[in-house]
Amino acid sequence: MELVYTGKTKNVFQLEDGHYLLQFKDDVTGEDGVFDPGANTVGLTIEGAGLAGLRLTSFFYSKLNEQGVPTHYVDANFDDATMTVKPATVFGNGLEVICRFKAVGSFLRRYGAYVKEGQDLDAFVEVTIKDDERQDPPISADALAMLGILSLEEYEILKQRTIEISKFVAAELAKKGLTLYDIKLEFGRDAKTNEILLIDEISGGNMRAYKGDEYIEPLQLEKIMLA
């Protein structure tokens, strides 16, 4: 098996049967040693973060697959902190699709003139392009289509699927008394069928979960959700 990509929080290996293996690392995004799911840089290393992320991802993606929501997830190996996934191509150089239930983070920094911090948002979807050099700028559906990153039809699928998946995650968190503030999803096209797939992961590393006013750290989230 061949290492094909070294990411911020995962290494990617190509398997001989055409699948890929994602190895979850203990590195998490943040700045100056403080975890921030919206950050662009690896801010710190938390022992056990990789396995916790994998276990949560396996939990959510198995359920999504069962519900007929297409994901790249095939199976997981908790001993090695690895996940086997279907091959997929990303849109352009990769997109982040954010679903917001509360006005916090970069949304608040941009639109603070129109919303209060923590105000409820109704599963509001927005897209940013993955571009560390340009601080992941937000992008409109029209711009995505015009730049050839995806079509307006694909955008609508992406948006509807993001709402569906995010509401499912929010409902799972609610069962444990937690509130989902926002979540960041990634999608790609199935390398064989071109179908739009949920890729990457769903874990504490790409969402903000709260219990009342208390932010729940990624490791703690995994413990609460899988207890």
Residue ranges in contact with a copy of itself by CB under 8 A: 92-93, 109-115, 121-122, 124-126, 129, 131, 133-134, 137-143, 146-149
CA angle at 136 for the pair 31 and 152, rounded to the nearest 5°? 150
* Least distance in angstroms from the C-beta of 164 to a copy of itself: 16
Beta strands per DSSP E along the chain? 2-6, 10-14, 20-24, 27-31, 34-35, 42-45, 73-77, 82-85, 88-90, 95-102, 120-129, 138-139, 179-190, 196-199, 207-211, 214-215
The CB-of-112 to a copy of itself minimum distance in angstroms stands at: 7
User: Please, which residue, 5 or 111, has the CB nearer to a copy of itself?
Assistant: 111
Nearer of residues 20 and 107 to a copy of itself, judged by Cβ: 107
Q: How far is the CB of 25 from a copy of itself (least distance, A)?
A: 25
Q: What whole-number distance in Å separates Cα of residue 57 and Cα of residue 62?
A: 8
CB nearer to a copy of itself: give 139 or 196. Answer: 139
Question: Least Å distance between CB 18 and a copy of itself?
Answer: 29
Residue 45 vs 89, nearer CB to a copy of itself: 89
